[in-house]
C-alpha cells in the first residue's frame, strides 16, 4: 500500500496529496528535485511495479520482501542506489513486550523509497517535520534519510525505558528473596538481545553517513547525523547493560530456586526421618503383639495368669521401647544434647 508519494524541489513539496506512481517515476527521470515514496506492507505485485518503474535491483527488492534481516547499508548499481535495512521497535505497555518491525530504504540522487513492515515507526510525522524545514529539505534524499533514521531512533528510547522498568521489577523480586518467574526473565533477555541486534549494527553505517561516505552531506546535515549517531551509541550501551543485568538476575534467580529446593529437600528428609523412626518403633512392637496373639501350645501352657502375661507380654514391649530409646539417643536421633556420634555437645565442642 502506498502511504504517500511526493515530489520535492528547492526544499518544498510541489503538490498536494500523493502523486501517481508513473508520474513520480517520470519526475525522477526528467524533472528536478527528488521523489519520496512511502510503502506500507506492499504485496509482491505492488513491489514489482515499483521495481519496474524506478529500476531497483532485484536482490534488494527480494530483501525488502523478506523481513527479519540484519540492519545493513550497501550499494547497488555501481553505487548509484544505496539499499538500507533498519529494524523498528516499540514497547507495548499493555503486554509489557517489544514489537519489532523493519524498514527497507532505497536511496539515489533522485528518489527515496521506504518499504515498511510492521506497525512501529511510521514516517508521516517525519515527513511533515522535514517539510517545515526547507533548509534541510534542500539537501535532497540525504535529508529524507536522516528524518527516517531519526524517527526510528527516537522510537527506540521508549523501548529502553520499558525494558529498564521490567528489569528493575524482576531484579527487585529476585533480590528480595522471592523467586521470579524464570520464563519472564528469559523472555526479557531474549527481547533485549533482539533489540541489541537491531541497534548495534547501526553504529558503523551511521559513522559512514556522518562522514559522507555513502551519500553526500553538507556540514550542517552532518551535525544532524552525528546527533543521531550519539543517540544510537547511548542506546547501544544501555541495551548492553540491560543484557548483562538480566544475565546476573537469571543466575541469582536460579540460586534462589536452588536454595528453595534445598529447603524443601531438608524438610522432606526430616519428614522421612520421622516416619522411619515411627516405623522402627512399631516394628518390634508389632512383632511382639503378633507373637503373643498366637494360639499355640507353649503359649497356652505357660501364659495362664495375669502376671505371667504382664511379665512376658507387657514386659517385652516395655523392654523393646527402652532399648529403642537408648539406641536412638546414642545415635543422636533424639536428645538435643547429643551429637551423631553419641557424645554430649559440650564435649564435642571441646
Portion of the chain with pLDDT greater than 90, in percent: 35
Residue 265 lies in a domain: no
Same-domain pairing of 108 and 187? yes
Residue 282 lies in a domain: no
Q: Which residues contact 307 (CB under 8 A, 6 or more apart)?
A: none
- The range of the structural domain enclosing residue 323 comes to 293-349
Contacts 24+ apart (CB under 8 A), 44-49: 46/1, 46/2, 47/115, 49/21
Summarised one tens digit per residue, pLDDT across range 164-191 is 999 999 888 888 877 668 888 889 999 9
Residue 271 lies in a domain: no
Quick one: pLDDT at residue 292? 66
Same-domain pairing of 169 and 301? no
Q: Which residues contact 316 (CB under 8 A, 6 or more apart)?
A: 288, 292
Question: Which of the pair, 256 or 134, is modelled with greater confidence?
Answer: 134
Same-domain pairing of 218 and 305? no
Cell 552532518 belongs to which residue?
Answer: 222
Which of 258, 282, 307 is the endpoint of a domain? 258
The three cell numbers locating residue 124: 508521516
Summarised one tens digit per residue, pLDDT across range 89-108 is 999 988 889 999 999 999 99
Same-domain pairing of 239 and 314? no
Quick one: pLDDT at residue 339? 44
Q: Please return the burial class of 136, using the count of CB atoms within 10 Å of its CB with bins 0-12, 13-18 and 19+.
A: buried
Same-domain pairing of 242 and 298? no
Report how many domains make up the chain.
Answer: 2
Same-domain pairing of 123 and 217? yes
Quick one: pLDDT at residue 77? 63
The three cell numbers locating residue 138: 534542500
Which of 235, 258, 281 is the endpoint of a domain? 258
Same-domain pairing of 325 and 220? no
C-alpha to C-alpha distance for 188 and 318, rounded to whole angstroms: 64
Same-domain pairing of 318 and 246? no
Same-domain pairing of 249 and 308? no
Average pLDDT, the chain: 84
Helix (H, G, I), strand (E, B) or coil at 44: helix
Summarised one tens digit per residue, pLDDT across range 284-324 is 777 767 766 666 666 666 666 767 767 776 777 788 888 87
C-alpha to C-alpha distance for 260 and 263, rounded to whole angstroms: 5
Q: The CATH number of the domain where 49 resides is what? A: 3.30.460.20
C-alpha to C-alpha distance for 24 and 327, rounded to whole angstroms: 99
Residue 261 pLDDT > 50 = yes
Same-domain pairing of 333 and 253? no
- pTM of the predicted model, to two decimals? 0.74
What single-letter DSSP state applies at residue 335? -
Q: In whole angstroms, how far apart are CA 212 and each of 58, 137, 174, 208?
A: 26, 17, 48, 6
Same-domain pairing of 233 and 180? yes
Quick one: pLDDT at residue 330? 79
Same-domain pairing of 180 and 329? no
Amino acid at each position: 500500500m502506498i502511504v504517500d508519494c511526493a515530489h520535492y524541489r528547492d526544499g518544498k513539496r510541489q503538490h498536494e496529496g500523493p502523486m501517481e506512481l508513473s508520474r513520480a517515476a517520470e519526475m525522477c527521470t526528467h524533472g528536478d528535485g527528488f521523489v519520496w515514496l512511502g510503502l506500507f506492507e506492499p504485496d509482491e505485485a505492488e513491489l514489482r511495479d515499483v521495481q519496474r518503474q524506478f529500476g531497483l535491483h532485484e536482490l534488494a527488492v527480494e530483501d525488502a520482501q523478506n523481513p527479519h534481516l540484519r540492519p545493513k547499508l550497501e550499494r547497488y548499481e555501481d553505487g548509484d542506489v544505496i539499499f538500507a535495512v533498519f529494524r523498528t521497535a516499540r514497547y507495548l505497555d499493555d503486554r509489557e513486550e517489544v514489537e519489532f518491525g523493519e524498514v527497507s530504504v532505497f536511496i539515489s540522487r533522485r528518489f527515496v523509497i521506504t518499504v515498511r513492515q510492521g506497525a512501529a515507526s511510521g514516517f508521516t510525522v517525519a515527513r511533515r517535520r522535514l517539510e517545515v524545514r526547507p533548509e534541510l529539505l534542500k539537501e535532497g534524499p540525504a535529508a529524507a534519510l536522516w528524518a527516517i533514521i531519526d524517527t526510528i531512533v527516537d522510537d527506540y528510547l521508549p523501548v529502553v525505558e520499558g525494558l529498564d522498568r521490567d528489569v528493575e521489577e524482576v531484579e527487585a523480586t529476585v533480590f528480595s528473596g522471592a523467586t521470579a518467574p524464570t520464563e519472564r526473565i528469559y523472555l526479557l533477555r531474549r527481547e533485549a538481545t533482539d533489540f541489541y541486534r537491531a541497534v548495534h549494527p547501526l553504529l558503523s553505517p551511521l559513522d559512514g553517513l556522518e562522514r559522507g561516505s555513502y551519500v553526500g552531506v553538507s556540514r550542517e546535515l552532518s551535525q544532524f547525523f552525528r546527533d543521531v549517531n550519539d543517540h544510537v551509541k547511548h542506546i547501544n550501551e544501555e541495551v548492553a547493560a540491560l543484557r548483562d543485568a538480566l544475565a546476573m538476575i537469571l543466575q541469582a534467580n536460579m540460586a534462589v530456586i536452588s536454595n528453595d529446593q534445598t529447603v524443601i529437600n531438608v524438610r522432606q528428609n526430616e519428614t522421612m526421618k520421622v516416619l522411619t523412626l515411627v516405623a522402627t518403633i512399631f516394628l518390634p512392637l508389632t512383632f511382639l503383639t503378633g507373637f503373643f496373639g498366637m494360639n499355640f501350645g507353649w503359649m497356652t501352657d505357660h501364659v495362664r495368669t495375669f502376671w505371667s502375661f504382664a511379665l512376658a507380654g507387657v514386659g517385652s514391649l516395655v523392654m523393646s521401647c527402652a532399648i529403642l530409646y537408648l539406641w536412638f539417643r546414642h545415635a543422636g536421633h533424639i536428645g538435643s544434647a547429643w551429637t551423631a556420634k553419641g557424645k554430649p555437645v559440650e564435649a564435642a565442642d571441646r
